[in-house]
Amino acid sequence: AGSAYKLEGAWIAKVDGSTGQWTYVLSADSSGRRASGHGSIDIGLFVSPESDTSSPILVEMEMTGPKTLSAYSVWYGLKELSPMAPLDPTRELVYIGVVTSTGEFVAPNELENAHYFEFYDATADADGNGLPDPGETPFATLNLTTRDTRLPSP
């Protein structure tokens, strides 16, 4: 029965009690118990007046039990710029979004997840590795839950 619960495929995450939605695709290792992926925020939350777009989501997931998982995700709030010359940047980083999640398969193609969001100012990444530096404080946090549905195979 445990083999039915694998981290792979294309998923739609709907935020409970809201219109929020994101979509993501997971590519699993051979065990199906660990996966990397990317996705997009389709209907997001207002975070910063300075941000008018976002980057794709990057995610790492791992099964922690027969039907349970943990995940870590990051994405960036961006501001569109008006470049005037070749090689001028087209966007600037406004904030870093980080999410730690736990979830449980309630069916082979359905997950219930709890997410803890942290939003950091772009300056929280002084070492330039794309992640908030240890000890930095988020300017906002949020807890929410989602029901995620895997796209059916044709």
Query: DSSP string spanning 40-52?
Result: EEEE-----TT--
CA distances from residue 94 to 26, 80, 101, 125, 131 in whole angstroms, order as listed: 27, 10, 23, 11, 13
Q: How many H-runs (helices) and E-runs (strands) does the chain carry? A: 0, 9
What span, in angstroms and rounded, lies between the C-alpha atoms of 142 and 144? 7
Report pTM: 0.90
Could you report the per-residue pLDDT of 14-68, keeping only the tens digit for each? 999 999 999 999 999 998 899 999 999 888 877 888 888 889 999 999 999 999 9
How would you class 13 by CB atoms within 10 Å of its CB: exposed for 0-12, middle for 13-18, buried for 19 or more? buried
Could you report the per-residue pLDDT of 55-106, keeping only the tens digit for each? 999 999 999 999 999 999 999 999 999 988 888 888 899 999 999 999 999 9
